Amino acid sequence: PRPILLTRHGESRDNVRGRIGGDSMISDSGELYSKKLANFVEKRLKNEKAASIWTSTLQRTVLTASPIAGFPKIQWRALDEINAGVCDGMSYEEIKKNMPEEYQSRKKDKLRYRYPRGESYLDVIQRLEPVIIELERQRAPVVVISHQAVLRALYAYFADRPLKEIPHIEMPLHTIIEIQMGVTGLQEKRYKLM
């Protein structure tokens, strides 16, 4: 069995400012994580010649992957963060204050709520289908560096978690979730690097 390593990008400048979406760089702390992650991956996958690193097309995942040496890197648009549409770049407080109805509808049904001109969790789950097919086809380990909403959906697929839980799954920063399909089901290890 081969492992799949899931991780969010290192902390971004927008994470620090409390803004959603965008395409910001990583913070100093995010950069430190990128180095620790590279160290971890290079050791963990030392004898795995065919392993690969998958990122989204956004700077924060590409920058997080950049110190990792020795493996091919592939960018997937399907791994980009949930598109917050008109709310892109706003903080949750701003949405609550300026668009209270949107805020309330999302709170009521976070799975189905679609940001105006953006996406819902259900949309994200649907666009992940080709990524999941390719992940299952791969025989070698894959490191997936992506975003909170996307990783919730990917993790839920492999861990067989119910749809309605997906938007609420905890997906901490600076932590690697290693999953592996064994004969007895999913095996999971977590590495909190900082």
Tokens representing 17 are 């400012």
Would you give the DSSP letter of residue 19?
B
CB atoms within 10 A of CB 164: 12
Write b or e for each residue in 112-150: b if 16 or more Cβ atoms lie within 10 A of its Cβ, otherwise e: ebbbeebbbbbebbebbeebeeebeeeeebbbbbbbbbb
The one catalytic residue among 9, 19, 106, 152: 9
What contacts 38, CB < 8 A, 6 or more positions away?
67, 68, 69
CB atoms within 10 A of CB 62: 16
When asked if residue 119 is in the footprint of ligand G3H (CB under 6 A), the reply is: no
Name the residue number minimizing CB distance to ligand G3H.
148
19 catalytic, yes or no? Answer: no
When asked if residue 81 is in the footprint of ligand G3H (CB under 6 A), the reply is: yes
Which stretch in 33-41, 58-66, 71-79, 81-89 sits in contact with ligand G3H by CB under 6 A?
A: 81-89
161 catalytic, yes or no? Answer: no
Q: In terms of CB distance, is 7 or 148 closer to ligand G3H?
A: 148
The one catalytic residue among 19, 106, 147, 174: 147
Contact 74, 52 (CB under 8 A): yes
Size of residue set near ligand G3H by CB under 6 A: 9
Touching ligand G3H, residues 138-157 (CB under 6 A): 147-149
Residues 124 and 126: their CA atoms lie apart, in Å, by 5
Closest CA to 128 of 144, 112, 106: 144
15 catalytic, yes or no? Answer: yes
Distance in Å, CB of 56 to ligand G3H, minimum: 12
When asked if residue 167 is in the footprint of ligand G3H (CB under 6 A), the reply is: yes
Query: Percent helix, strand, coil in the chain (nearest 5)?
Result: 45, 20, 35
Touching ligand G3H, residues 17-36 (CB under 6 A): 20-21
Contact 4, 175 (CB under 8 A): no
The one catalytic residue among 19, 60, 152, 174: 60
147 catalytic, yes or no? Answer: yes
Distance in Å, CB of 102 to ligand G3H, minimum: 12
Q: In terms of CB distance, is 163 or 186 closer to ligand G3H?
A: 163
Looking at the annotation, which residues are catalytic? 8-9, 15, 60, 81, 147
Q: Which residues of the chain form contacts with ligand G3H (CB under 6 A)?
A: 20-21, 81-82, 84, 147-149, 167
